[in-house]
């Protein structure tokens, strides 16, 4: 039954059981009429709640919360998903045993057999809207196969340096072996650092993990539960939640994401705090890499509007200065994008979206590949 994803359904069952017990003691017609109508109404609410949850989908079932690094992907997922921008793009998603995007479902041993590279990034490196073979990581991985080099893609939508650090730390402590780490830092990472400021990783007990599974279940299956948690509990837990009045609402939050690079008000609102947090967590990543002998690479790029207006250089300058200071390999697509005409720039992005399309993914992957070579 498709209504089981809502807690209202179980409340309805509880009242139904209570009604069946009480009707043995209350024989009156009025009690039966009121009781039956009340229970029917609750079941109808459960039905509409489930339908609303499907119509106003919150997230794909393979996207899960994580107590160590906030959110990630379910291990060994094999699901069809879609990306809504200008139209709807459907594609298949596969993850491996680590919960990393992959070509197929496969077991990934913690111990490497040859050279291994890990990629960390946000939705750009996840490759939203496209199957594995058309994403940046997928294209690079395919080229590396000829050299017997394994590429792992730990990128997930809405990641930022804090989450990169927590995820890297978690898997390295689990025993994952890697030789090189590519961290691709998006312009939106600065505001996301502020959003995740509240998050503290925690070792959950078995009962807490069970509750987390139930919580995820109801978030995906119940519009009422999801809305209540987002509008009230999430706000109480995190004052910088993306839906928070602090940002002026969700639409304004997304409008603010790139503005720290050219707007003084945005810089004061979140940019200064976000930059400090981003540098702190990238520094923690650098230290882990130095301790474990992992070669670190850092990459950046402009968004479409910034490539056209040539006003995203603050992102470039920030990480160029950092990589120069610590002699870290720096990969920048700013010159490549800014050398294009406006029409050429538009042609490599999904229409009505900030992300690269398949052509853009191929251009970025080729640039990174040439840089590596």
pLDDT in tens, 119-146: 999 999 999 999 999 999 999 999 999 8
Residues 211-223 have a mean pLDDT of 79
pLDDT of residue 61: 81
Same domain, 175 and 272: yes
Tokens 């039956």, residue?
A: 36
Q: What percent of the chain has pLDDT over 90?
A: 66
Cα dihedral across residues 259, 265, 269, 270: positive or negative = positive
Mind listing the pLDDT tens digit for each residue in 106-119?
999 999 999 999 99
pLDDT score, position 56: 72
Nearest to 313 by CA among 332, 330, 339: 332
Co-location of 156 and 208 in the same domain: no
Q: Which two tokens stand for residue 100?
A: 């990393």
Task: Give the number of residues written for the chain.
Answer: 373
Per-residue confidence band for 174, with pLDDT thresholds at 50, 70 and 90 = very high
* Confidence check: pLDDT of 198 > 80: yes
Q: Residue 14 corresponds to which tokens in the numbers above?
A: 């509880």
- pLDDT confidence bin for 1, thresholds 50/70/90: very low
Q: State the Cα–Cα distance between residues 301 and 336, nearest whole angstrom.
A: 9
The answer to whether 60 and 92 have CB atoms below 8 angstroms apart is no
Residue 320 pLDDT exceeds 60: yes
Give the per-residue pLDDT at 50: 84
pLDDT of 149 reads 95
Q: Are residues 192 and 148 in the same domain?
A: yes
237, 258, 293: which is the final residue of a domain? 237
CA distances from 370 to 135, 147, 331 (A): 16, 15, 11
Question: What pLDDT is attached to residue 94?
Answer: 98
Rounded average pLDDT over 285-314: 95
The DSSP letter of residue 294 is P
Q: How many domains does the chain divide into?
A: 2
Question: Could you tell me the two tokens for 207?
Answer: 């009962």
Say yes or no to pLDDT of 190 above 50: yes
Asked whether residue 156 falls in the same domain as residue 233, the answer is no
Q: Does residue 223 sit in the same domain as residue 155?
A: no
pLDDT of residue 85: 64
Residue 317 clears pLDDT 50, i.e. is over it: yes
The string of pLDDT tens digits covering residues 229-259 is 666 655 567 889 888 889 998 889 999 999 9
Say yes or no to pLDDT of 2 above 50: no
pLDDT band at 88 (very low <50, low <70, confident <90, very high): low
Average per-residue pLDDT in the chain?
91
- Single out the residue of 99, 170, 29, 134 nearest to residue 357, CA to CA: 134
Q: Mean pLDDT across the stretch 290-305?
A: 97
Looking at residue 270, its pLDDT comes to 98
Strand partners, 63: 73
Residues 79, 102 within the same domain:
yes
Q: Indicate if 185 and 232 belong to the same structural domain.
A: no
Count of CB atoms situated within 10 Å of the CB of 342: 11
Same domain, 1 and 126: no
Looking at residue 252, which CATH number applies to its domain? 3.40.50.1110
pLDDT at position 227, please?
75
pLDDT in tens, 58-74: 668 899 889 899 999 99
79 - beta bridge partners?
93
- For residue 100, give its domain range: 63-199+245-372
pLDDT at 230: 62
61 vs 292, more confident: 292
Give the position of tokens 């990934």.
108
Classify residue 269 by its DSSP letter.
Answer: I
Residue 73 CB contacts under 8 Å (≥ 6 apart), including other chains? 62, 63, 64, 93, 95, 99, 100, 101, 156
**Cα 134 to Cα 94: distance, rounded to the nearest angstrom:** 13
Beta bridge partners of 4: none
Q: What one-character DSSP code corresponds to residue 131?
A: -
Among residues 39, 92, 71, 246, the alpha carbon closest in space to that of 167 is found at 71
Task: Report the C-alpha gap between 268 and 169 in whole angstroms.
Answer: 31
Same domain, 348 and 217: no
What confidence score (pLDDT) does residue 84 get?
Answer: 72
Q: Phi/psi zone of residue 256: left (φ > 0), alpha (ψ -120 to 50 degrees), beta?
A: alpha
Which pTM does this prediction carry?
Answer: 0.86
Q: Residue 210's pLDDT band (boundaries 50, 70, 90)? A: confident
Count Cβ neighbours within 10 Å for each residue of 192-220 and write b for 16 or more, e otherwise. Answer: bbbbbeebeeeeeeeeeeeeeeeebbbbb
- Predicted confidence (pLDDT) per residue in 351-369, tens digit: 989 999 999 999 999 999 9
Asked if 136 and 161 sit in the same domain, the reply is yes
Tell me, yes or no, whether 183 and 214 share the same domain.
no
Burial of 234 (0-12, 13-18, 19+ CB in 10 A): middle
Q: 209 and 191 in one domain?
A: no
């Amino acid at each position: 039954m498709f209504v089981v994803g809502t807690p209202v359904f179980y409340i309805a069952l509880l009242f139904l059981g209570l009604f069946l017990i009480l009707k043995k003691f209350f024989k009156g017609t009025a009690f039966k009429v009121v009781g039956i109508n009340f229970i029917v109404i609750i079941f109808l609410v459960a039905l509409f709640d489930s339908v609303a949850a499907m119509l106003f989908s919150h997230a794909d079932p393979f996207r899960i919360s994580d107590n160590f690094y906030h959110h990630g992907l379910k291990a060994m997922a094999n699901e069809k998903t879609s990306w809504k921008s200008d139209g709807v793009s459907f594609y298949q998603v596969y993850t491996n045993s680590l919960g990393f995007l992959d070509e197929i479902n496969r077991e990934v041993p913690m111990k490497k057999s040859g050279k291994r590279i890990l990629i960390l990034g946000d939705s750009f490196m996840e490759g939203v809207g496209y199957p594995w073979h058309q994403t940046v990581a997928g294209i690079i991985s395919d080229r590396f196969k000829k050299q017997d080099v394994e590429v792992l893609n730990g990128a997930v939508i809405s990641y930022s340096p804090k989450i990169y650090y927590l995820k890297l730390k978690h898997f390295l402590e689990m025993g994952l072996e890697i030789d090189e780490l590519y961290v691709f830092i998006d312009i939106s990472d600065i505001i996301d650092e502020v959003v995740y400021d509240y998050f503290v990783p925690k070792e959950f007990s078995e009962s807490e993990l069970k509750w987390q599974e139930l919580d995820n279940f109801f978030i995906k299956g119940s519009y009422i539960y999801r809305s209540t948690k987002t509008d009230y509990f999430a706000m109480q837990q995190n004052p910088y939640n993306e839906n928070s009045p602090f940002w002026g609402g969700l639409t304004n939050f997304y409008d603010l994401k790139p503005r720290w690079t050219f707007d003084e008000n945005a810089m004061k609102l979140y940019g200064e705090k976000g930059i400090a947090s981003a540098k702190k967590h990238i520094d923690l990543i650098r230290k882990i890499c130095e301790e474990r002998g992992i070669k670190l690479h850092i990459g950046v790029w402009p968004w479409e509007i910034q490539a056209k207006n040539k006003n995203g250089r603050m992102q470039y300058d920030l990480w160029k200065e950092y990589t120069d200071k610590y002699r870290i390999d720096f990969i920048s697509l700013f010159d490549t994008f800014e050398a294009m005409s406006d029409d050429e720039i538009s042609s490599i992005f999904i229409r009505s979206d900030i992300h690269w399309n398949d052509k853009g993914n191929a251009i970025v992957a080729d640039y990174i590949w040439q840089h590596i070579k």
